[in-house]
Structures are given as structure tokens and as C-alpha cells.
Amino acid sequence: MVDNLNFADLPDDVIGFKYPFPCLANAIREGGPVKIVAMGSSSTAGRADVVPYPHWVEMYLRQVTGNARIDIVNRGAGGEEAEKELPRFDSDIFALAPVLVIWQVGTNAVFRPQDYNVDTTAQKIEEGLKRLRADPGKMDVMLLDPQYVTAMLFDGKAEQAERMVKLISEKAELFNVNVFHRWALMRHWHVHNNISFERMLDPTDPQLLHQNDASTQRLSRGLCDTILKAVKAAGT
């Protein structure tokens, strides 16, 4: 039985967006096909039998808007970081012409220091955002920062994780891009809602890195609601 985390808060002061989503708002208003691209690593691609967040967000957006033609194209690739994702932008983002890009980034820079560097990743995030925001009238852009889980806190990783989260926000602000603060939200659950890591983590993951179905689904609910508030702020 899947644990029910509906009591986990989704506080607007933690996950609320600063900027509207005019491109997504226009597409929803027109009532036709709405294409969103989710770029990222294993949190986006999915792992084992845990349904990843793009599936849930797509379902929630369809339910709330009544538009069954909203599609989230999943372009997650496990183990990747911004350095490896940038070369995929042409084929996996621009060629698809989405109205919204969700870029989940930063986790592997902390979790796999043997392969990535936090400062290099931050620079690549800036490069990626510069490309994505070259023509703001074509697509909206948002970032999804790392998950607050055991693997990102132990073995001296906590300080680097906090740095990565801060750098993601700083780079996003350079381009007026929203960040969905997954790190802060899951920390809120752990500290304020007294939800243990065991209740948020995939029990089949020995790395203690990935969320389980319950926390993924709850996070997706918050992400959907926050996206729709940015749509409303743009005017429909």
C-alpha cells in the first residue's frame, strides 16, 4: 500500500513562483495541444517502479484545466548533469517547440563529485538558461532543484548541496526564471511535518537518493498548483 502524504504541507512561501508563465497561459487559453518538456536526470526519467514527476504533473494539469491534450515529454536521463544535458537541448527541447521547459538540475553535481563539479555545473546552468531565454516569447522556463534526502546530506555532502541550491537560485534570477524549491519543500516536510526520510525515500534504492511514489506524487501536486498560479498571474 502506498503511504499517503496528503498531510504534507505545500506552503506557497516555500514553493511559490516569482514570475508568470505567459507562453503556457496563452497555450492553455487557446485550448489546443500544449507541449511541455521535462529535462533532467533520474528524478525526471524515473527509476525502478516509481512513477516520475512528469507523469503526475501531466495528469494533474489535464484534470485541473480540463485539457486532455496537455503532454509532458520526458527527456530525463539517469546520472546526467547540466554538462551532459546542454548538448541535448537542440534535439530534446528546441526541436519539440514546447511552451514550458522544466529543467531538473543540480543533484548529480553533489551526489557524484567524482564526475561533476558544483561550480562547473552552475556555469553550465547559466549557459543553458541563456539559450532557453534567448527568445522569452517562445517558451517559459523553470528550474527544479535537488531533493532533500539522506544521500545529499551524509558523507560531507550537505554543505555542497546547500551551495548548489543557492547557485541554482542565483543563476535563475539572472534570467527571471522560476525555481521550484524541492530542497526547501522536502526539508519543510522533514522538519515541520515530522516526515521521516524513510517515508519519503524509495525503499528499493540502496543509494538513499530517490523519492518514493508518495513523496513524488505529493511534490507533483505542489508543482502543478504552482505552475497554474504562474499561469493565472500571466492572465488567461
Q: Is the pLDDT of residue 130 over 80?
A: yes
Position 236 scores a pLDDT of 54
Position 156 scores a pLDDT of 87
Lowest-pLDDT choice from 38-42, 105-109, 166-170, 203-207:
203-207
Per residue in 137-156, pLDDT tens? 999 999 999 999 999 999 88
Q: Is the pLDDT of residue 226 over 80?
A: yes
**pLDDT (average), residues 95-114:** 98
Position 49 scores a pLDDT of 81
Per residue in 21-65, pLDDT tens? 999 999 999 999 999 999 999 999 998 888 999 999 999 999 999
- Check residue 50 and report its DSSP letter: B
Average pLDDT, the chain: 96
> Percentage of the chain surpassing pLDDT 70?
98
Dihedral sign (CA 80, 83, 87, 91): positive
- Check residue 210 and report its DSSP letter: S
Position 3 scores a pLDDT of 66
Phi (first) and psi of residue 10, to 5 degrees: -130, 65
Q: Is the pLDDT of residue 2 over 90?
A: no
Instruction: Quickly state the pLDDT bin for 1 (edges 50, 70, 90).
Output: very low
Can you give the residue ranges of every domain in the chain? 12-234
**pLDDT (average), residues 3-18:** 92
**pLDDT (average), residues 166-171:** 98
Rounded to an integer, what distance in angstroms lies between the CA atom of residue 118 and that of residue 167? 9
Q: Which residue has the cell 511541455?
A: 36
Q: Is the pLDDT of residue 4 over 90?
A: no
Alpha helices in the chain (DSSP H): 12-15, 22-30, 42-45, 53-65, 82-85, 89-92, 107-111, 118-132, 158-174, 182-192, 197-200, 213-234
Considering the domain delimited by 12-234, tell me its CATH architecture: 3-Layer(aba) Sandwich (3.40)
